[in-house]
């Protein structure tokens, strides 16, 4: 499986102490104001997922700041630009520049600038809107209901997915979550071919980011997402449905149940939407339009 070349440390070991050990010292430490509340002795360590601020600019104009796991960043920024409607094709991007920066208090961050074609940049300036997006927040900065629920094109009808193939997806995603298996606290999105074969697994602290990485990967590899599926570890929200519809993805499959609005939009746009419960049969909430 190939990944975008722009990547940094995805996790690092963090030291910690267990409460059952620390509690033995709380009583006398609370009485003694000259010593810290907890002992400084570190008992264990764990691998934690990396989180980094990413500033995105378009032709040197600030557009968004997202909190991301800093792997496959080129795919993420390209996918984010596509799902935001800033670009349509990979050829709309003329160059990508990356700069590592430092912010207070001693926080590593990265700035990525997308250089668009003159035509695309002219279109971007007409709809320019700087907004801030936090982890797991897909509508931050939206200023109106029309922007929050845009009118999109109905998807092309897709071929039905075989029920037997759905049964194996949950354990397959678990196998392919390299970062998730190390740190636990990370979302995953798995791109699946029309034949049911896994293509690439993308991981991030934000579920929207994970899907954007898939979208960017598909754009870079010139993959038309009609009849493709994306399996996600998260619940299905409205924003994920909108991203899928905008880029022509035929199916979203989730390990957690969707929201009511996500189901309504999926049904309206002809997006197949499936929930894979842990101990029950797959639940189909929306099917492709006929």
Residue 109 lies in a domain: no
Q: Give 149's pLDDT tier (boundaries 50, 70, 90).
A: confident
CA distances from residue 67 to 51, 136, 181 in whole angstroms, order as listed? 6, 9, 21
- The rounded mean pLDDT for the chain is 85
Rounded to an integer, the average pLDDT of 61-87 is: 94
Residue 108 lies in a domain: no
What pLDDT, on a 0 to 100 scale, did the predictor assign at position 133? 46
Q: Provide the domain limits for residue 235.
A: 163-285
Task: Give start and end residues of each alpha helix (H) in the chain.
Answer: 19-31, 73-83, 118-126, 145-148, 163-167, 169-176, 178-183, 207-220, 238-247, 260-269
- Distance CA(113)–CA(54), nearest Å, equals 10
Residue 127 lies in a domain: no
According to DSSP, the residues that pair with 68 across neighbouring strands are: 52
What pLDDT, on a 0 to 100 scale, did the predictor assign at position 94? 96
- Distance CA(269)–CA(287), nearest Å, equals 9
* Pairwise pLDDT comparison (26 vs 57), residue with the higher score: 57
Residue 209 lies in a domain: yes
Length of the chain equals 290
Could you count the other beta carbons within 10 Å of the beta carbon of residue 190?
24
Residue 189 lies in a domain: yes
Q: Among all residues, which ones are annotated catalytic?
A: 137
Residue 82 lies in a domain: no
Total domains in the fold of the chain = 1
pTM: 0.85
Instruction: List pLDDT tens digits, range 81-128.
Output: 999 999 999 999 999 999 988 887 888 899 999 999 999 999 998 877
Supply the CATH number for residue 172's domain.
Answer: 3.40.140.10
Residue 9 lies in a domain: no
Residue 62 lies in a domain: no
């Amino acid at each position: 499986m190939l990944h975008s070349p722009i990547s940094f440390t995805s996790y690092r070991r963090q030291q910690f102490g267990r409460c059952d050990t620390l509690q033995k010292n709380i009583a006398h430490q609370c009485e003694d104001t000259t010593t810290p509340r907890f002992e400084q002795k570190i008992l264990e360590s764990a691998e934690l997922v990396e989180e980094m601020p990413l500033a995105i600019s378009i032709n040197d104009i600030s557009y968004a700041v997202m909190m991301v796991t800093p792997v496959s960043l080129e795919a993420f920024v390209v996918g984010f630009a596509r799902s935001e409607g800033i670009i349509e094709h990979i050829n709309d991007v003329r160059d990508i520049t990356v700069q590592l920066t430092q912010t207070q208090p001693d926080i590593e961050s990265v700035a990525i600038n997308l250089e668009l074609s003159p035509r695309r940049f002219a279109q971007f300036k007409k709809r320019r809107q700087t907004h801030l997006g936090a982890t797991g927040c897909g509508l931050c900065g939206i200023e109106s209901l029309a922007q929050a629920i845009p009118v999109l094109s109905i998807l092309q009808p897709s071929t039905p997915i075989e029920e037997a193939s759905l049964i194996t997806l949950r354990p397959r995603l678990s196998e392919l979550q390299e970062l998730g298996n190390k740190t636990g606290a990370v979302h995953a999105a798995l791109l699946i071919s029309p034949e049911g074969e896994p293509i690439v697994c993308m991981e991030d602290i934000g579920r929207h980011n994970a899907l954007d990485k898939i979208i960017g990967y598909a754009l870079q590899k010139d993959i038309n997402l009609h009849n493709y599926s994306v399996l996600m570890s998260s619940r299905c929200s409205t924003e994920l449905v909108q991203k899928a519809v905008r880029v022509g993805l035929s199916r979203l499959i989730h390990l957690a149940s969707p929201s009511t609005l996500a189901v309504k939009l999926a049904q309206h746009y002809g997006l197949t939407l499936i929930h894979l419960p842990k101990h029950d049969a797959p639940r189909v909430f929306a099917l492709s339009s006929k």
